[in-house]
Chain A
Amino acid sequence: MKILAIETSGQVCGAALAEDDQLVAEYNLQFKVTHSQILVPQMETIREMTKLDLSTIDAVALTKGPGSFTGVRIGAATAKGLGLALDKPLIPVPTVDAIAYNLFGTEALICPLMDARRSQVYTGIYTFDPADGKMKVLRGQCAVSVEEIAGALNAMGMETGKTAILLGDGAPVYAESLKTLLEIPYVFAPLHLSRQRASSTAALAMERWRTEGEAAFVSADDFRPEYLRLSQAERDRLSGIDTSQITRR
């Protein structure tokens, strides 16, 4: 099973090539250049350096969201175009699950936090079961206030006596409020594990394929990102606010 993985949901832009148990190549950048300008060059570098014949790829993996709306779509449009060009399926994985997968094996409570603006975070709570090594989703990815996710972490931590590990770009943003909100022991993940990584996206996609087989596949044509949030215009319209001033023309 050969998977080409794309990661563009947040500040990291990355591509990885995985074959069965081997991470053949990985190229992550967290640098202020638009993902649009670096993603395909990253894949091209991997293709060249590993002498990859693109037609041998079995699936294209990507994080399906949430994340930066534009970032998620750059990855999605690239994966869809690649799926169409190669006639291969996609394996979309939830962004927050993929970040949590950075911390494979820990029995602590894993809480990725992505800054979603408007005083919200894209987050979830995960842990690994030592019995089977599988990631357990204690709270699936969602867009909530930092207070709400801290409350959920406190409840789970007190019940189980587990420490929380915080990661993601929202962790430093909300560090101060978390200090007051969290009543259980917690630590921040170190830099090599604290952000989206294309290899984690590839590894989680590989795991999905191993457990679910072709049920993990979504056709490139049918795939749609998962934003976890309506656009501002849709929210305003649903709450009865005049939307006529927000349009471009």
Chain B
Amino acid sequence: MDKKDITILAIESSCDETAASVVVNGRTVLSNEISSQIDIHTLYGGVVPEIASRKHIERVNQVIRAALNTAGKTLSGLDAVAVTCGPGLVGALLIGVSAAKALSFGTGLPLIGVHHIEGHISANYISDPDLVPPFVCLVVSGGHTHLVRVKDYGEYEILGRTRDDAAGEAFDKVARAIGLGYPGGPKIDMAARNGDPDAVRFPRGKVEGSAYDFSFSGIKSSVLNYLNECDMKKIPVNVPDVAASFQKAVVEVLTEHAMRAVEEYRFDRLTLAGGVASNSALRASMAEACAKAGVKFSCPPPVLCTDNAAMIGCAAYYEYLKGFRSGYDLNAVPGLQLGESVYR
């Protein structure tokens, strides 16, 4: 490999996946190991923070070792160690942060703390090697819904955000209410394929006075009201129809806001990021709207949409180039906001 190559080991443990990856020059993924805890959290209907932390500590070394082995790298062949330091579950984040700091201390490699959402956005650089800022990115996951203007590497402006539930949170809550269980996103996506998206008309959430902010609690409440009504009138609930109708309401709002931003700011590129970006209806709707508007659309494959460390390695590379380094006092910051830098 060329001498100028920068190889980064990245670690991610912000929620319920223990992940590690080796990434070269921010764009070439040599390994992308993910140890999912989904089976255990399914027993509880959602992620239990203490259990997530306990699972992370059991898997962290194995996952890091697997990432190095798959990449054919040893620690001495790396240029930096990167880790997600927020936002996320504090106990879960601390496992990755502590392990990464110890690796950095033990090897002398520079340490780079990475913002989890910046990681999600950066997944697009991996799936589309030609992608360069500026562009618009819609970040949708279980904990976040942000419409972001990516001005440059590491430079973000939040155009809109959710005022209440994150989109993925609404999927989880509705899935629980209609008996599909956890995780809600993929379960609703699957059920909706056999349903009529126009069977029930749920409201499209609007935020007074803001063209870009989102509100999903209204959509969620109207689904719950509809279910109550069916219950009272003793009408059987058609689960695929409700799933498809709810999904359509969410997808329409997300698509509409994203396209409005593209038009207003005259962007020629729109991207998706985050766990909900693997929803098939959302991908199809965005692709169609972009085709109509003559805007280039791209979205990472599902494995790079859900939590992974490759995206952290990618984001870390651009921080590395700017000379940003974290100290050994790097801490987990559960409520870290996008644009609130780890360094500045």
Interface set of A (CB-CB < 8 Å, partner B): 34, 36-41, 43-44, 47, 54, 69-70, 73-74, 76-86, 220-221, 224-225, 227, 231-234, 237, 243-244, 246-249
Q: How far is the CB of A50 from chain B (nearest CB, A)?
A: 15
B103 at interface by CB-CB < 8 Å:
yes
A-B contact pairs, 19 of them (CB 8 A): A36-B98, A38-B329, A40-B105, A41-B327, A69-B50, A73-B53, A73-B91, A74-B98, A78-B99, A80-B60, A81-B60, A84-B61, A84-B64, A220-B61, A227-B54, A244-B45, A246-B44, A248-B49, A249-B142
A70 / chain B contacts, CB cutoff of 8 Å: 53, 90-91, 94
B57–A249 CB distance below 8 A: no
Known: A37-B331, A231-B51. A80 touches B46 (CB 8 A): no
B99–A81 CB distance below 8 A: yes
Q: Which of A40, A41, A77, A231 has most chain B Cβ within 10 Å?
A: A77
B44 / chain A contacts, CB cutoff of 8 Å: 233, 237, 243-244, 246-247
B98–A81 CB distance below 8 A: yes
B166 / chain A contacts, CB cutoff of 8 Å: 249
A195 to B75, CA, bound (A): 37
B43 at interface by CB-CB < 8 Å:
yes
Interface set of B (CB-CB < 8 Å, partner A): 41, 43-51, 53-54, 57-58, 60-62, 64-65, 75, 89-91, 94-103, 105-107, 142-143, 166, 168-169, 172, 176, 327-332
B330 / chain A contacts, CB cutoff of 8 Å: 37
B106–A82 CB distance below 8 A: yes
Q: Which of A41, A83, A85 contacts B329 (CB 8 A)?
A: A41
B50–A247 CB distance below 8 A: no
Known: A237-B44, A243-B45, A246-B44. A76 touches B57 (CB 8 A): yes
Which chain B residue lies CB-closest to A70? Answer: B91
B102–A81 CB distance below 8 A: yes
B65–A84 CB distance below 8 A: yes
Known: A77-B57, A79-B102, A81-B103. A36 touches B46 (CB 8 A): no
A221–B102 CB distance below 8 A: no
B50–A233 CB distance below 8 A: yes
Q: How far is the CB of B79 from chain A (nearest CB, A)?
A: 15
Task: State the 7 A-B residue pairs at the shortest beta-carbon distance, nearest first.
Answer: A85-B106, A81-B102, A247-B46, A77-B98, A40-B328, A81-B99, A231-B50
A164 to B321, CA, bound (A): 60
B327 / chain A contacts, CB cutoff of 8 Å: 41
B47–A225 CB distance below 8 A: no
A77–B60 CB distance below 8 A: yes
B329–A43 CB distance below 8 A: no
B91–A34 CB distance below 8 A: no
Q: Which of A44, A78, A80, A249 has most chain B Cβ within 10 Å?
A: A249
Which chain A residue lies CB-closest to B64? Answer: A84
A78–B65 CB distance below 8 A: no
A80 / chain B contacts, CB cutoff of 8 Å: 57, 60-61, 99, 102
A233 / chain B contacts, CB cutoff of 8 Å: 44, 48, 50-51
Q: How far is the CB of A89 from chain B (nearest CB, A)?
A: 12
Known: A73-B91, A77-B57. A249 touches B172 (CB 8 A): yes
Known: A70-B53, A73-B94. A85 touches B328 (CB 8 A): no
Which chain B residue lies CB-closest to A36? Answer: B331
A34 / chain B contacts, CB cutoff of 8 Å: 331
B100–A81 CB distance below 8 A: yes
Known: A231-B51, A244-B44, A247-B47. A82 touches B105 (CB 8 A): yes
A138 to B177, CA, bound (A): 53
A122 to B228, CA, bound (A): 48
Known: A73-B94, A77-B95, A244-B176. A85 touches B53 (CB 8 A): no
A246 to B166, CA, bound (A): 18
A77 / chain B contacts, CB cutoff of 8 Å: 57, 60, 94-99, 102
Which chain A residue lies CB-closest to B85? Answer: A36
Q: How far is the CB of B169 from chain A (nearest CB, A)?
A: 5
B62–A247 CB distance below 8 A: no
A44–B105 CB distance below 8 A: yes
A16 to B213, CA, bound (A): 52
Known: A80-B57, A80-B61, A221-B62. A40 touches B102 (CB 8 A): yes
A70 to B92, CA, bound (A): 9
Q: Which of A38, A73, A74, A81 has most chain B Cβ within 10 Å?
A: A81
Q: Which of B45, B65, B95 contacts A247 (CB 8 A)?
A: B45
A72 to B91, CA, bound (A): 11
